[in-house]
A = this chain, B = another copy of it.
């Protein structure tokens, strides 16, 4: 069997209690003693048993990320940000993939969470009341990423503003027939999608432009979906001259559809997305960039802070952090030889 704390205690000539205190850096330990214990522990290659430690302390030293998908760009990038912060700590990361929030948000059953983790990072949760309630009922700190809900801390962009900025850009460069490619046909309680659409409508309204129902396509946040939606729009008697895709991946699909129809993005039909996907530059897609990795980082740091606090001090006041976005103009809206970058700070 492995070395236990008792072995170390005997070898160092102290009690297990002292070893425990010394190794965890607690106060009230003689520097000499601590040094000796650390020395012995290292020599014996002692590693604390996490199960025993967890059982005795009641803390798991683990947090979980709950996301609809793992393989898609946005989610894997968030995950990477989370992991990045965790490297510096001693916290373990558990991952749960729960499927499309618009279809069914299969929250991992309590039994998979309770007693296993100290806190939760939930990505793109629908603002559906019950989903939040289920999670909060576990009684542990929860941080939302990429969406917000009343009463829960969150880190995200201002999606309404992002939708407005994207649409406004299309208006600015002279378009009047502006379509949108969003996720689902009807509001599904999936905040980002609904909010971005709201921003689009607001921008059109403010510019005195009409919103036509037939100019709304649904791409389900995938490349293939975006392509289908754009194809549908192109089939209209009077197609839009510009399209706002609520995500870069749907924007890519739109570009693909244009290519298939022999149309040039930017020249024939303008396309703008949201995300700042790694490959947006490659595909020359204008997009509203959000700092995705930072979203993951910030939410994780916030969660770790919560966890380091005594339970009583964990503020009941949920802080909804909104991070700024940047409109990056590329050839899909302004076909020119040079790329223009405008800094767009979102305030609220």
Contacts and interface: CB of A to CB of B under 8 A. Distances in A.
Contact of A252 (B84, B111, B279): B279
A282 interface: yes
Contact of A52 (B55, B93, B282, B293): B55
A100 interface: no
A83 B70 contact: yes
A73 B79 CA distance: 13
A223 interface: yes
B223 A282 contact: yes
A150 interface: no
* Interface size class, chain A: 35 or more
A77 interface: yes
A51 B115 contact: yes
30 contacts: A2-B115, A47-B110, A47-B114, A47-B115, A48-B115, A49-B55, A49-B115, A51-B51, A51-B52, A51-B60, A51-B115, A52-B55, A55-B55, A70-B79, A71-B73, A71-B293, A75-B76, A76-B76, A76-B79, A79-B95, A84-B97, A90-B112, A92-B112, A95-B95, A223-B282, A253-B282, A255-B282, A256-B281, A282-B283, A283-B283
Given A50-B51, A50-B54, A92-B116, 15 more contacts: A47-B111, A49-B55, A51-B55, A52-B55, A70-B79, A71-B73, A71-B79, A75-B76, A79-B95, A80-B97, A92-B94, A223-B282, A252-B279, A255-B282, A283-B283
